[in-house]
């Protein structure tokens, strides 16, 4: 297996429901919502199955039809995740994502169905093993890191930011932010800070005051142009 290297392009990825993934370079990948596309067909097949007599050959045929629809959905989802993860790994050397508490988020009954079909956990797993196989770095940032509420320009942090707010303006530097792109930029920079400082696998500073205790200047310089240069062993 190739030895990991930090020399090359770094990217932060913010995962969501409206857009499946938003990257720090401004790319947005739509959520395919495959279950919604096949929902009518699946509903019809399940209704047909429910009308068949238990133990009959017709019920067995109807059961197979339902299974084929589920297999179609799973195959399309896996195809989307494989292609996107391969593209990201091929184009970047350092990949930074947020360590989401997916199991906890599934407790929200309003979002459970959408979270289940989106496949964040499988996507991160694909990114991780593909990056390791290529000698690239997969880095997770702690789920409590305030990536959305922090201005990536001046590191000023707002008190609260509801999910309904998709764009906001920093009161300190007056920069207009796209919520998801700003979060991806902050994830990228925080991932580089972790790699540079060698503080561990994840960031664990939920109450970071960015205006006073923000990233080191050297880390900010690393992220310019989305390039993460190799940190020599002697400096660690």
Tell me how crowded residue 202 is: count the other CB atoms within 10 A of its CB. Answer: 17
Contact (CB, 8 A) for 7 and 231? no
Q: State yes or no: is 142 an active-site residue.
A: no
- Tell me how crowded residue 224 is: count the other CB atoms within 10 A of its CB: 7
Distance CA(69)–CA(38), nearest Å, equals 8
Q: Is 14 a catalytic residue?
A: yes
Q: Is residue 91 among the annotated active site residues? A: no
Q: Please state, in angstroms and rounded to a whole number, the distance separating the CA atoms of residues 140 and 153.
A: 22
Catalytic-labelled residue, pool 30, 91, 134, 180: 180
**Helix 57-91 / helix 120-133 crossing angle, nearest 10 deg:** 50
Catalytic residue, from 14, 140, 189, 190: name it: 14
Q: Which of 7, 30, 98, 227 is catalytic?
A: 98
Which positions are annotated as active-site residues?
A: 14, 98, 180
């Amino acid at each position: 297996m190739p030895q990991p290297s930090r020399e090359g392009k770094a990217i932060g990825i913010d995962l969501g429901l409206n857009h499946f993934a938003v990257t720090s370079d401004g790319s947005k990948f739509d959520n395919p919502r495959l279950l919604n596309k096949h929902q009518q067909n699946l509903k019809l097949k399940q209704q047909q199955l429910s009308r068949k007599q238990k133990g009959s050959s017709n019920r067995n045929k109807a059961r197979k039809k339902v299974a084929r629809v589920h297999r179609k959905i799973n195959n399309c989802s896996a195809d989307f995740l494989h292609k996107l993860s391969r593209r990201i790994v091929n184009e970047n050397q350092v990949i930074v994502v947020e360590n989401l508490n997916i199991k906890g988020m599934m407790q929200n009954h309003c979002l459970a169905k959408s979270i289940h079909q989106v496949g964040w956990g499988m996507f991160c797993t694909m990114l991780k093993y593909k990056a390791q196989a290529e000698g690239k770095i997969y880095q997770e940032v702690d789920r409590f890191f305030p990536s959305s509420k922090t201005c990536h320009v001046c590191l000023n942090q707002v008190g609260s930011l509801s999910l309904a707010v998709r764009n906001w303006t920093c009161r300190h530097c007056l920069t207009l932010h796209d919520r998801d792109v700003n979060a991806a930029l902050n994830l990228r920079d925080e991932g580089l800070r972790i790699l540079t400082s060698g503080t561990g696998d994840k960031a664990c500073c939920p109450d970071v005051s960015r205006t006073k205790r923000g990233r080191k200047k050297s880390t900010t310089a690393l992220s310019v142009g989305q390039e993460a240069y190799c940190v020599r062993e002697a400096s660690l």
